[in-house]
Chains A and B, each alone.
Chain A
Amino acid sequence: MASVLVNVPKRAKRGDIVEIRALTSHIMEPGYRRTAAGEVIPRNIITSFACRYNGREIFRADLFPAIAANPYLSFFTTASESGTIEFEWIGDNGFSQTASAAITVE
């Protein structure tokens, strides 16, 4: 089980633009490296990331082998209502990881 770290402000004023940061531990093996014996190490990366705010998608990303190991993403959203922000990572070999954070909007 991979570990994740998500950063969402706990409180925000209505209409504020808030930064959301998401980090997950993953090797992001690009599939181009070789062992000393010359065998290609098969690709094992996270291919997509999505973020939903009370069920509505606010950010989505397609990731490629050119994203560094332990993918880090930072993006913004407008604080519109209290609720939960959900995160989802999907990758090779059936990798799937979710996380969520609560936000209170005043």
Chain B
Amino acid sequence: MAGNDRSTRRHFLKAAGSAALAGTITRVTLRPAEATPAMLNSAIRNVVGEAPLRNGKVKLDIPPLVENGNTVPMTVSVTSPMTADDHVTSIHVFNEKNPQPYIGNFYLGPAAGRAQVATRIRLADSQNVVAIAQMSDGSFWSASVDVVVTLAACTEEL
């Protein structure tokens, strides 16, 4: 009798274990492929090309701890005199772990007066966000911020 009990329990645990395992697998396959750091790098290379990417000049403002990834305020500002000879031509923002690595491309010119753009973005996970600015002389400058997200965006079921 005792032996029977044990085998039932063993069977139960085995069944529960494989059910849990199957559950995990289904959840993983249901989720769309996440962007990876490799995708982030290739997206950045698409914009920057072979030009060197230097840290500095760019300031990326995002709250470090985000409760709701569906709407995250973000401000990118670039130190630049914004004259006809020396200005920011574009600002590109990328993420590491959303389903795709792009967030936005913003094109401005000397008429902007101040190189600053603000918008609201979505973040699907705690991750690294990168902003890159292209200057009128062709150089690229970047800044990155690590953001912790409690409630993820983009991939929830309805």
CB-based closest 4 A-B pairs: A17-B113, A78-B113, A74-B118, A68-B120
Q: Mark A52-71, 1 if CB is under 8 A from B, else 0.
A: 01001011111111111101
Q: Which of A64, A65, A72, A78 contacts B111 (CB 8 A)?
A: A78
- Nearest neighbor of A80 in chain B, beta-carbon distance: B111
Q: B102 and A64: CB pair below 8 A?
A: yes
Q: Mark B23-64, 1 if CB is under 8 A from A, else 0.
A: 000000010100000000000000000000000000000000
A36-B158, A53-B111 known; A71+B120 contact, CB < 8 A: yes
B156 to chain A: which residues have CB within 8 Å? 33
Q: B72 and A30: CB pair below 8 A?
A: no
Q: Which of A33, A36, A56 contacts B154 (CB 8 A)?
A: A33
Q: Mark B117-158, 1 if CB is under 8 A from A, else 0.
A: 111111100000000000000000000000000000111111
CA distance A74 to B117 in the complex (A): 6
Q: Which of A63, A73, A78 contacts B118 (CB 8 A)?
A: A73
- Nearest neighbor of B102 in chain A, beta-carbon distance: A64
B residues lining the A interface (CB < 8 Å): 30, 32, 70-72, 75, 95, 98-100, 102-109, 111-123, 153-158
A-B contact pairs, 8 of them (CB 8 A): A34-B158, A58-B109, A61-B104, A61-B106, A65-B100, A66-B154, A71-B120, A77-B112
CA distance A64 to B122 in the complex (A): 10
CA distance A59 to B110 in the complex (A): 10
A64-B103, A66-B122, A68-B120 known; A59+B157 contact, CB < 8 A: no
Q: B112 and A65: CB pair below 8 A?
A: no
Q: B71 and A58: CB pair below 8 A?
A: no
A residues lining the B interface (CB < 8 Å): 17-18, 30, 32-36, 38, 41, 53, 56, 58-69, 71-78, 80
Q: Which of A35, A53, A67, A80 contacts B119 (CB 8 A)?
A: A67
Q: A65 and B157: CB pair below 8 A?
A: no
A61 to chain B: which residues have CB within 8 Å? 104-107, 117, 119
Q: B155 and A32: CB pair below 8 A?
A: yes
B112 to chain A: which residues have CB within 8 Å? 58-59, 75-78
- Nearest neighbor of B112 in chain A, beta-carbon distance: A76
